[in-house]
Amino acid sequence: MELVIGRVAKSHGVRGEIVVEVRTDEPEERFAAGTVLHARAPRSSALTHHTIDAAREHSGRLLVRLAGVNTREAADALRGMLFVVDSSDLPESGADEFYDHELEGLQVRGAAGENLGVVREVLHTAAGETLSIATPEGREVLIPFVMEFVPVVDVTGGVIEVTLPDGLLEL
């Protein structure tokens, strides 16, 4: 399975730097100088490979210079490209740490075992991680991904058990 770790937002300056929207918890490792990135255009499976010459933070954004990309035009041509890694290349997640792709698709059950839906995606917000659950009725329910509400995560069993406050599932 392929995971997106960044997206080229736009060019920066006239010397070929690109602005990368980071989608990884480890940008300093994934975008370190000398790293070879695998990239593809949206809705394409063809990969290209780019070596990072330099990366730096500037005004809260990650600026990256790729080998061979030396002009604004060359950087503009990369706009929208997705930087990806294969999930099999990732280290195993820890005891209470999970990759988003490990949680997405898991069944969600209440404390009494009732089916509440499926994890559609993990949202990363300023307040913390939130699980977006697709209910059997087709609604979306957002559950803060904290121990108080999500005491059990069984990735191998394909189930998340939640303990919700009264009214959270009500319309």
Q: Is the pTM of this model over 0.75?
A: no
Q: Does 143 lie in the same domain as 113?
A: yes
SS3 23: coil
Q: Does 135 lie in the same domain as 82?
A: no
User: Is 171 part of a structural domain of the chain?
Assistant: no
Residues 33-38 have a mean pLDDT of 94
**Alpha carbon separation from 97 to 16, 102, 130 (Å, rounded):** 37, 10, 14
Cβ–Cβ under 8 Å, residues 8 and 18: yes
Structure tokens at 114: 């009732």
What is the rounded distance in angstroms from the CA atom of residue 109 to the CA atom of residue 66? 46
**What one-letter code names the amino acid at 132?**
S
User: Is 95 part of a structural domain of the chain?
Assistant: no
Tell me the per-residue pLDDT of 138-160, one tens digit each, with 9 for 90 and over. Answer: 999 999 999 999 999 998 899 99
Residues 9-15 have a mean pLDDT of 94
Residue 111: is its pLDDT beyond 90? no
Q: Could you tell me the residue range of the domain that residue 30 belongs to? A: 2-88
Tell me the per-residue pLDDT of 43-95, one tens digit each, with 9 for 90 and over. Answer: 888 999 999 999 999 988 899 999 999 999 999 999 999 998 887 676 676 66
Q: Does 133 lie in the same domain as 109?
A: yes
Q: Does 64 lie in the same domain as 10?
A: yes
As beta bridge partners, residue 114 has none
